[in-house]
Amino acid sequence: MLMKAMQTKAESSSGQAQLKRGNRMALIRQVRVLPGQSRVDLANTLGLTKSTVSALVRELIDEGWLLEREVVVTGDIGRRPTPLFIDPTRLLLLGAQVGIGHLRVVLTSLTGEVLSARSVGYDTGLDAEACILTLTRTLLAVAARCGKTQRIIGIGLGLPGGVDQAHDQLVFAPHLHWHEVPFGALLRAALQGTPLSGAPVFMQNDADVAALGESEFNPSPAADPLLLVLVGEGVGAGLVVGGRLLTGTRGFAGEVGHMVLQIDGPRCSCGRRGCAEALIGGRALLQQDGDAPTPQALAQAGHFLGVLLQNLAVAYDPACIVLGGSAMVLGDALLAPVRATLRQYAQAAGLPEPALRVARFGADAIAVGAAALAGYRLTQPTLL
């Protein structure tokens, strides 16, 4: 009887801890989406008591998650509620883009401001472990810019391939020929004994994290669902619906670079013909002996990118389509035919064009998105 009572008490205590943790994270995410809310606002929105919200807010302010700001005098009679905001100064995130032959690491606030950044190259002819050693050194160098009153609470990685989160594994990076790499475990092991030892590490496909960066660090109900298409060496997509990232059953959702757009088109790296990557990706644009892409190549790639976006818009009906990746440096030479193709399809169907814009974080879209992934995973109680 005593053992059973002790077990019941332990389960009850564990359940209360989980509930409190969930409430804390729900409160943080609510302030992130709608900054400036008061304790009363949060209690009403989340269905919690005012005393519970006040106690949680005190904890979160002490820990560095939230801050209070002075109330603007309006002339109203009575005590004015104090607005709450995410604290951008004390708790920080590290985000890393693992590109094809290059790494980009950024240090950001919880609200997405880039505080420090560094880019380095690595030899793609070596194995993943060699890349991870370079990544470790770069993470530590950027982390060293952290102030004495600041603390890094998570590390996010944007990887160039399919990621199986359940098994903490990079399944396949086609342009690097890496197969079934326990990337997260290897990085954690490399960080042992360093100032980043024990920091939570999260990883996801590069297009997925870029989509999260747009959603987490620039939240707007008008951009939900948000579809981001990344155009660089390859082509990938990330979809965020209701604040949740759609990854698929094996983590392969968004591999749109291998959607066939042209029957019997040019051969793709995957072995098939006419894939989006073969028609839009870096090699399709830059196969002219290293010269800049011709106007004809840009017009054709832009047209096929428009076709791809039209297909994705029909499939997912996003509120907003965001374009990112290294190809965005081509500007209107690429984007003008994209918009023209979307306009043609919309007019033919008598429908409005999909809302289209370029990624907010430009060349840092993946690295900043990786930092957003860390914040996303840390503040989603059901994902912990």
What pLDDT is attached to residue 243?
A: 81
The residues, any chain, with a CB within 8 Å of residue 366's CB and separated by 6 or more, are 97, 99, 104, 158, 206, 209, 210, 213, 230, 324
Domains 91-209+366-383 and 220-359 share a fold: yes
Q: How far is CA 113 from CA 65, 87, 89, 344, 363, in A?
A: 15, 12, 10, 38, 14
Write down the architecture of domain 220-359 according to CATH.
Answer: 2-Layer Sandwich (3.30)
CA-CA distance, 339 to 350, in Å (whole number)?
Answer: 16
What pLDDT is attached to residue 268?
A: 86
Write down the architecture of domain 91-209+366-383 according to CATH.
Answer: 2-Layer Sandwich (3.30)
pLDDT digits (tens, 9 = 90+) for 162-201: 898 878 889 888 888 888 999 999 999 999 999 999 999 9
The helix or strand, by DSSP H or E, that contains position 68, with its residue range, turns out to be strand 66-68
CA-CA distance, 70 to 37, in Å (whole number)?
Answer: 13
Burial group, residue 192, by CB count within 10 angstroms (0-12, 13-18, 19+): exposed
pLDDT, the chain, mean: 88
Does residue 115 surpass a pLDDT of 80?
A: yes
What pLDDT is attached to residue 384?
A: 37
pTM for the structure as a whole: 0.88
Does residue 75 surpass a pLDDT of 80?
A: no
Q: Which CATH code is given to the segment(s) 10-86? A: 1.10.10.10
Of 303 and 77, the structure prediction assigns the larger pLDDT to: 303
pLDDT digits (tens, 9 = 90+) for 199-212: 999 999 999 999 99
Long-range contacts of 63-68 (CB under 8 A, 24+ apart): 63/91, 64/89, 64/90, 64/91, 64/151, 65/28, 65/91, 65/110, 66/28, 66/31
Does residue 34 surpass a pLDDT of 70?
A: yes
What pLDDT is attached to residue 377?
A: 93
Does residue 231 surpass a pLDDT of 50?
A: yes
Ordered alpha helix ranges (H), the chain: 2-33, 39-46, 50-63, 128-143, 183-191, 206-216, 276-280, 282-285, 295-316, 332-349, 365-378
* φ/ψ of residue 120, rounded to 5: -140, 160
DSSP string, 90-146: SEEEEEEEE-SSEEEEEEEETT--EEEEEEEE--TTS-HHHHHHHHHHHHHHHHTT-
What pLDDT is attached to residue 223?
A: 77
Does residue 309 surpass a pLDDT of 90?
A: yes
Q: What are the tokens at 229?
A: 């298409």
Give me the mean pLDDT over the 331-340 stretch. 95
Does residue 381 surpass a pLDDT of 80?
A: no
CA-CA distance, 155 to 153, in Å (whole number)?
Answer: 7
Q: What are the tokens at 149?
A: 């009153």
Does residue 78 surpass a pLDDT of 80?
A: no
CA-CA distance, 258 to 272, in Å (whole number)?
Answer: 8
Question: Which of 187, 162, 160 shows the shortest CA–CA distance to 176?
Answer: 160
Cβ atoms 12, 26 nearer than 8 A: no
What pLDDT is attached to residue 383?
A: 44
Delimit the domains of the chain by residue range.
10-86, 91-209+366-383, 220-359
Of 17 and 331, the structure prediction assigns the larger pLDDT to: 331
Give me the mean pLDDT over the 106-134 stretch. 94
Give me the count of residues in the chain. 384
